[in-house]
Amino acid sequence: MQVKPGYLDPADQAELLSEIVAAISAAPFFTPRMPRTGKPFSVVMTNCGPLGWVSDRAGYRYQPTHPETGAPWPAMPERLLEIWNALSGYPGPPEACLVNYYRPGARMGLHVDADEEDFSAPVLSVSLGDTALFRVGGTRRRDPTRSFRLSSGDIMLLTGETRRAYHGIDRLYPGTSRLLTPYGDLFPEGGRINLTLRRVTPVSG
Ligand code: MD6
Ligand code: FE
């Protein structure tokens, strides 16, 4: 695992957020649901890039289109490709950027990102908005965990051993950032946006 606190300065964060807001207007948030039970997640999601991660009663998967509008996902912002090129060490571009929006009170249970075909690529996460408490453990659910805060502008990569580690978000610290304030229509309660860049299929050749 690698953590890059404050990798994006406030101006970079604001520019990236404006690009993500544009993507959200083309590909509105949807409420993911647990496979089988249909229980809703407390976060809402959308994606950009050639593939997007979705979850519904049928299961977890990557697909090229939005589950409600049927449209292709919006393009991945160039700025995210540059971050991936600078930090991933992977010889190909990311194929999916999952956008998670946490209202105050939303959380993400412990999980492993396991729906990709190529585990040699890291998963790169960008935090925007309110600070969150991130927890990471080992490859078995019962392994001990440690927790740390992710703040707006921080970048974290799950690489190597931790690529298959359990991780999640226990809570937000509401009101710790004003980054989302200009978009009060979309985010009336503030909150946090997390972007995760993923390579899904192996680079060929
Ligand atoms: C979050 N992050 O930060 C949830 N997954 O809101 C993740 O689930 C995650 O941060 C894979 C790699 C990095 C992550
Ligand atoms: Fe994850």
Position 204 in a domain: no
Q: Is residue 83 part of a domain?
A: yes
* 162 domain residue, yes or no: yes
Q: What is the pLDDT of residues 93-132, one digit of tens each?
A: 999 999 999 999 999 999 999 999 999 999 999 999 999 9
CB atoms within 10 A of CB 198: 25
- The per-residue pLDDT for 204 is 78
Q: Give the model's pLDDT for residue 104.
A: 97
Domain hosting residue 130, numbered range: 2-27+36-198
Residue 20 lies in a domain: yes
Q: With H, G, I as helix, E, B as strand and everything else as coil, classify residue 132.
A: strand
> What length does the chain have?
205
> Domains in the chain: how many in total?
1
Q: Is residue 205 part of a domain?
A: no
Name the closest-CA residue to atom 7, ligand 1. Answer: 168
Helix 10-26, helix 78-87: angle, nearest 10: 120
CATH number for 111 = 2.60.120.590
Q: In terms of pTM, does the model score above 0.85?
A: yes
**CB of 162 shorter than 6 A to ligand 1:** no
- Judge whether residue 205 has pLDDT over 70: no
